[in-house]
Amino acid sequence: MTTYRQPGLVLTDHRFPVPLDHTRPDGERIEIYGRELVASGTADKDRERLPWLVYLEGGPGFGARRFVGPQAWLGRAVREYRVLLLDQRGTGRSTPANRQTLPLRGTPAEQAGYLAHFRADSIVKDCELIRRRLTGGAPWTVLGQSFGGFCATHYLSTAPEGLDTVLVTGGLPSLYATADEVYRAAYPRVRRKNEAHFARYPQDAERARAIAAHLLDHEVTLPGGGLLTVEAFQSLGILLGSGDGTHQLHLLLEQAFVPALGGPVLADAFLEQVQAHLSYAGHPLYAVLHEAIYAQGQGPTDWAAERVRGEFPEFDAAAALSAGEPFLFTGETVHPWHFRTDPALRPLRETAELLAARADWAPLYDPESLAANEVPVAAAVYHDDMYVDTAHSLETASAVRGLRTWVTDEFEHDGVRAGGPRVLDRLLALARGEK
């Protein structure tokens, strides 16, 4: 273990070997990385007495957030916890899974078989092995953001004995909805976010149409070799689900074009920023496994977001421009064309197709166990959350015995980051019966 310091924090690196397949504990092993954080000035004897809180990041496919000092919710957490920021399998400093490493597994079929072990069920089993090693068997608190909340709900379903308290921010999943139903609920929310954005920044409506028209007439390559198609441009709408995302999108659009010899072109600075928002190079599993997080023994997901999009023709940019209808951005969706336009995903196209066709995904949640829950649970549910359907979340909240909700429109999906310590403070109070 390596220990070092930042302002206000003492950090310790941990590495945990875990089975790739938990049904074969003596088989192949991978490594999970975790970063422990305690407040500076904590005496060793006091540190050993502190309870643990493990943070599960959103995603799938993102490593735990890298804080510099006690930022956001972390400052509140280290007042009473030893915090473990866990890089879920395949992410961050854990054994990597990307276009560079996955070919070591063999064929696309072998890669898909490997990645089938990277869902919430395996992540929770990793957590249980790590918990027993770190706490000596004592239960710990889980803070799950977005997909981390999906993992926490699976944790409650399958290993509640490992849990002292569960805190969920923007991440209560439907216990029953298929991927099709998830996206069928999502597209109307995305349209509402578009309407709110263009009401705030009406000048962006024509700017977005002009960029889309340019992309329909020109092949545009991003600095890193990706293709900026009109569908890829639309996917910048993913920004609209975060607290300052509407402002980020506006500032991006206002500097799109520069004059050139052959007429206006998309500016290099614009394309560089677009690439930063759209590239999956840092989180390829987000694309490869995105729909698999909704799969629960109900057959293949089969590119649900792409198929369901056909039910909402207003998102067809070319048709909208031709008919003089509003241009709409899309949201948190992954499509087959991502594996053509993004260089980080192109080598994984066949693997992704096999995962989309996979039909034997196991159920992730146990409604009977959740109905009998005895673990204190509190969840922040963001009103009209673009990423996770509010109605689905509230339905699940009512199905988990004792779960207390805080429904708020003060924050978007990133409230736990944007709200500083307030969101964590409120959830801890709810879980403890103080509010």
Mean of pLDDT values over 14-26: 97
- According to the model, what pLDDT value does residue 41 have? 87
Closest listed residue to residue 390, CA positions, set 375, 405, 373:
405
Mean pLDDT of the residues in the chain:
96
Which residues belong to the active site?
146, 360, 413
The pLDDT score that the predictor gives to residue 47 is: 86
Residue 42, classed as helix, strand or coil, is coil
Q: What is the mean pLDDT of residues 276-305?
A: 96
- Taking alpha carbons only, the member of 54, 232, 220, 80 closest to residue 143 is 54
pLDDT in tens, 319-365: 999 999 999 999 999 999 999 999 999 999 999 999 999 999 999 99
pLDDT of 1 higher than 80 = no
pLDDT of residue 298: 86
- Residues 146/152/153/159 CA torsion (nearest 10 deg): 170
Q: Give CA–CA dist 422/340, Å, rounded.
A: 42
CA trace torsion 380, 364, 331, 346 (10° rounding)? 140
Span 363-421, pLDDT tens digits: 999 999 999 999 999 999 999 999 999 999 999 999 999 999 999 999 999 999 998 89
Cα torsion for 205, 307, 279, 266, to the nearest 10°?
-30
pLDDT at 109 over 90: yes
Of 125, 147, 122, the C-alpha closest to 60 is 147
Checking if the pLDDT of 43 tops 90, the result is no
Instruction: Tell me what the mean pLDDT of segment 192-209 comes to.
Output: 98
Q: Please state the domain extents for the chain.
A: 2-175+365-431, 179-357
Average pLDDT over residues 91-117: 98
Tokens 């921010």 belong to which residue?
Answer: 169
Strand pairing category for 9-19 and 2-6: antiparallel
What three-state secondary structure class fits 87? strand
For the cut 80, the answer to whether the pLDDT of residue 114 exceeds it is yes
Checking DSSP bridges between strand 265-266 and strand 257-258, what pairing results, if any?
antiparallel
Is the predicted pLDDT of residue 45 greater than 80, yes or no? no
> Left, alpha or beta for 387 (phi > 0: left; psi -120 to 50: alpha)?
alpha
- Span 74-84, average pLDDT: 96
Asked: is 2-175+365-431 a CATH 3.40.50.1820 domain? The reply is: yes
The Cβ-side half-sphere exposure at 13, using a 13 Å CA radius, reads 11
Tell me what pLDDT residue 297 has.
87
d(CA 290, CA 268): 30
> What is the mean pLDDT of the segment spanning 125-150?
97
**Cα gap 91→70, rounded to integer Å:** 22
Rounded mean pLDDT, 149-165: 98
Nearest to 342 by CA among 398, 385, 286, 383: 286
pLDDT at 404: 98
User: Where does residue 374 rank: exposed (0-12), middle (13-18), buried (19+ CB within 10 A)?
Assistant: exposed
C-alpha atoms less than 13 angstroms from C-alpha of 242 in its C-beta half-sphere: 16
Examine the pLDDT at 108 and tell me if it is beyond 80.
yes
Cα–Cα distance for residue pair 435/428, rounded to 1 Å: 9
The per-residue pLDDT for range 224-274, each reduced to its tens digit, is 999 999 999 999 999 999 999 999 999 999 999 999 998 999 999 999 999
Task: List phi, psi (to 5°) of 269.
Answer: -65, -40
CA distance 386 to 176: 19
* 202: Cα within 13 Å, side-chain hemisphere: 1
pLDDT band for position 423 (cuts 50, 70, 90): very high
Q: How far apart are CA 109 and CA 36, in angstroms?
A: 36
